[in-house]
């Protein structure tokens, strides 16, 4: 079992009957969805909502009950991955491009468990370029405003085309270098009208589960 899978297997032990569960996105969340499917097959009674079309499709293929957002009041537990985790459990997310939906799920969850391998742990955020989701309209001007905050934003491209999120938006990957004050940067980014959301998750994670290549698991 690899490190991501180990963390995911540990996270799914936190599931309980009748929970509304938020499904994350990415390769680590993939393992969690597999683990959730195994528990559902064993008889665990849960309902889920997904942070991406990809995760929703996977859940449905694996027989996990997915429900519309209109049918729930909130989420009991979301299990998701991250690109970076610092000592205060602040995160960078959005490497997979699902940051806006992931943040909506996280902010509506009673508990957010983040699952990572050891490579994601950092003392300070910022080695991983911060993903920022922006509207396509006048994106060049939005890029300029984001640049003025002290980075060199790169419009994300996938398979030779501009990457488009599940929400029809673009992603800027913004290498800020060390981010000393994530909460302040968050406020500045959100003040730019074309910015839909960004991948800084400040004070959102309750627990981080870290899997290691030696086969151990620990909690932060």
Q: How many CA atoms lie within 13 A of 98 on its CB side?
A: 22
- 95 marked as part of a ligand binding site: yes
The owner of tokens 């984001």 is 146
DSSP letter string over 53-95? HHHHHHHHHTT--B--GGG-S-EEEEEE--SEE-TTS-EE--T
State yes or no: 199 annotated in a binding site: no
**How does DSSP classify residue 97?**
S
Collapse the DSSP code of 1 into the 3-class scheme (helix H, G, I; strand E, B; otherwise coil) and give the result: coil
Helices (H) and strands (E) in the chain, counts: 6, 15
Closest separation between CB of residue 148 and ligand 5RP, Å?
A: 25
Q: Is the dihedral of CA 46, 11, 84, 87 positive or negative?
A: positive
Check the annotation: does 183 bind a ligand.
no
CB of 83 to ligand 5RP, least distance (A): 5
93 is in an annotated binding site: yes
β-sheet with 84-85: strand ranges across:
84-85, 91-92, 200-201
Choose between 64 and 171: whose C-beta lies nearer to ligand 5RP: 171
For ligand 5RP, which is the closer residue by CB, 15 or 23?
A: 23
Q: Which residues bind to ligand 5RP, rule: CB under 6 A? A: 24-29, 80-83, 93-99, 102
- CB closer to ligand 5RP out of 19 and 99: 99
Catalytic residue among 84, 102, 133, 197: 102
Q: State yes or no: 120 annotated in a binding site.
A: yes
Please report how close the Cβ of residue 50 comes to ligand 5RP at its closest, in angstroms: 12
Active site residue 42: no
The secondary structure element, H or E, covering residue 195 is: strand 195-198
Closer CB to ligand 5RP, 16 or 25, in the complex: 25
Annotated binding site: 25-28, 80-83, 93-96, 120
Annotated binding site for substrate: 25-28, 80-83, 93-96, 120
- List active site positions: 102
């Amino acid at each position: 079992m690899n490190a991501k899978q180990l963390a995911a297997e540990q996270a799914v032990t936190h599931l309980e009957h009748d929970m509304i569960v938020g499904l994350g996105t990415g390769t680590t969340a993939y393992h969690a969805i597999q683990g959730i499917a195994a528990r559902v097959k064993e008889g665990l009674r849960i309902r889920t909502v997904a942070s991406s079309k990809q995760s929703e499709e996977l859940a449905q293929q694996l027989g996990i009950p997915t429900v519309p957002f209109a049918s729930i009041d909130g989420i009991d537990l979301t299990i998701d991955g991250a690109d970076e985790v610092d000592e205060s459990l602040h995160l960078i997310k959005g490497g997979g491009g699902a940051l806006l939906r992931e943040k909506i799920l996280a902010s509506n969850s009673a508990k957010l468990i983040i699952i990572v391998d050891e490579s994601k742990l950092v003392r300070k955020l910022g080695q991983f370029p911060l993903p920022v989701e922006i509207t396509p309209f006048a994106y060049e001007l939005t890029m300029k405003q984001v640049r003025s905050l002290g980075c060199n934003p790169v419009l994300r491209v996938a398979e030779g085309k501009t990457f488009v999120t599940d929400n029809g938006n673009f992603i800027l990957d913004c290498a800020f270098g060390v981010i000393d004050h994530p909460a302040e940067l968050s406020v500045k980014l959100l003040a730019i009208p074309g910015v839909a959301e960004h991948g800084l998750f400040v004070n959102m994670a309750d627990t981080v589960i870290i899997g290691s290549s030696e086969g151990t698991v620990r909690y932060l």
